[in-house]
Amino acid sequence: MKKAFLILEDGTVFAGQAIGADKEVISEIVFNTTMAGYTEVFTDPSYAGQSVCMTYPLIGNYGVCLDDMESERIWLDGVIVRELSEVASNFRCDMSLEEFLVKYEIPGVAGIDTRKLTRILREKGTMNGCITTNENYNLDELIKRMKAYTTKGVVEKVSCKEKYEVKGARDLSDNGPVSGSAVFNADNYKADLAGDHSKREKKPSLVRQLNGVKADGTHLKVALLDVGAKYNIANSLAARGCDVTVYPYNTTAEEILAGSPDGIMLSNGPGDPKDCESVIKEVKKLYDSNVPIFAICLGHQLMALATGTDTHKLKYGHRGGNHPVKELATGKVYISSQNHGYVVDTDKLDPKVATPAYINVNDGTNEGLRYTGKNIYTVQFHPEASAGPQDTGTLFDSFIHMMIDGEFR
């Protein structure tokens, strides 16, 4: 197997074996503590501009099931693992992880001490790095290039290019998207883009009630602003009976509101929220519209910036499926899926604008806001999971209650 190297901007060098595509890439190096769900992690648009170290030592043993993809492709720049399984054993497996990486031209390195790498990132903070198969690399030249690297323009890169619709389920056995592990089906997605919901493969819904249906029998309409949306955000709403229209990141507030949505969702996404200046301006208009809004991850940060609150970068971020968050109103603790490197500052949060709703149990950082006098609720974690626990999936039901009767419960 060909040699590969992971080189950090502090000069640390790890030698291992090349996996995936044979190419060199410079990106931000982060780690994810999820034990399973690597397909969902690798196809999460929030990882654009980053190479991900999986802390669990064996990756790839169940292969890749295309139904588990959270977007149309792999978005991360590189993969770092301790051991890549040579055998993929799973009745749902469509291809091996190695084949998956090659298909989307993603390089990686295996056989390195991922525990040591994780400790470096935890103690020194997230830093840039390079994955290369060039044994004659120039370290000084690489360090200059790595230090100059920034993750700019990633939201534009990952957002959909034109709006599309995901029709909601019409009954509990309908062929709408489902909430659960099998949340993406390639043929279903193509059928959605073509506007032909009838071609969807029939799958039972895991949601026990279609609470996205109004008293008059019509279905709630949700506008989803895609700043890097995972499929399961739209699917979680559609499984509950909501009709979802997904809009590109640069859609104006006027166009979104012209569709007369019952509610608006702001999605997850990659990069520094402060780079999204034009999006923040439109989000402020949506805030002023009085339409109920639910925001996740990057969307949570954009709403905070739009209303005068600040954000900052964490030392090494929260990425994994085992992060405890505390709901301040009840004292309940939930285990959540997370993937973010930035958080909302609450030190100078104006209570007339918003109040904290959740905090991270591990480090006390903000995990959610409830906006004062508005039907707006935002969270930093991922209630749609994929991968990760579904403890907070009921927040989609709360959003539906907010759209129907104006109460988030």
Beta strands in 211-310 (DSSP E): 221-225, 243-247, 263-266, 293-296
**pLDDT tens, position by position, 137-146:** 999 999 999 9
Q: Using CA atoms in the order 164, 381, 30, 66, what is the torsion angle rounded to 10 degrees?
A: -40
Torsion of CA 401, 405, 408, 409, to 10 degrees: -70
Report the DSSP beta bridge partners of residue 225. 247, 266
Q: Mean of the pLDDT values across residues 302-316?
A: 97
Provide CATH code, domain 157-405: 3.40.50.880
Look at residue 348 in the predicted model and tell me its pLDDT: 84
Residues of the chain with CATH 3.40.50.880: 157-405
Burial of residue 141 (number of CB atoms within 10 Å: 0-12, 13-18, 19+): exposed
Q: Which two tokens stand for residue 48?
A: 């654009």
Share of the chain above pLDDT 70, in %: 90
Instruction: Determine whether the annotation assigns residue 46 to a binding site.
Output: yes
Residue type, 406: G
* Total-model pTM: 0.90
Of 172 and 312, more confident: 312
Decide if pLDDT at 175 tops 50: no
Choose the catalytic residue: 297, 318, 340, 367. Answer: 297
Query: Is residue 301 part of an annotated ligand binding site?
Result: yes
Going by the DSSP 8-state scheme, the letter that residue 269 receives in this structure is -
Residue type, 129: G
- Cα→Cα distances 104→22, 41, 84, Å: 12, 15, 17
Average pLDDT over residues 22-44: 96
Q: Which two tokens stand for residue 78?
A: 């590189």
Write down the pLDDT at residue 176: 47
Whether the predicted pLDDT of 205 surpasses 50:
no
Residue 103: how many other CB atoms lie within 10 Å: 14
Give the residue-averaged pLDDT of 185-195: 46
Concerning whether 382 is annotated as a catalytic residue, the answer is yes
Could you say which of 197, 219, 323, 382 is catalytic? 382
Does 341 belong to an annotated binding site?
yes
Q: Which of 121, 47, 63, 55 is nearest to 82 (CA)?
A: 55
Run of H or E residues at 299: helix 298-306
Q: In the chain, which segments carry CATH 3.50.30.20?
A: 3-151
Give the model's confidence band at 183: pLDDT under 50 very low, under 70 low, under 90 confident, else very high.
very low
| Residue the block writes with tokens 């990882």 | 47
Domain 3-151 fold is: Glucose Oxidase; domain 1 (3.50.30)
Per-residue pLDDT band at 174 (split at 50, 70, 90): low
Establish whether 85 is an annotated binding residue: no
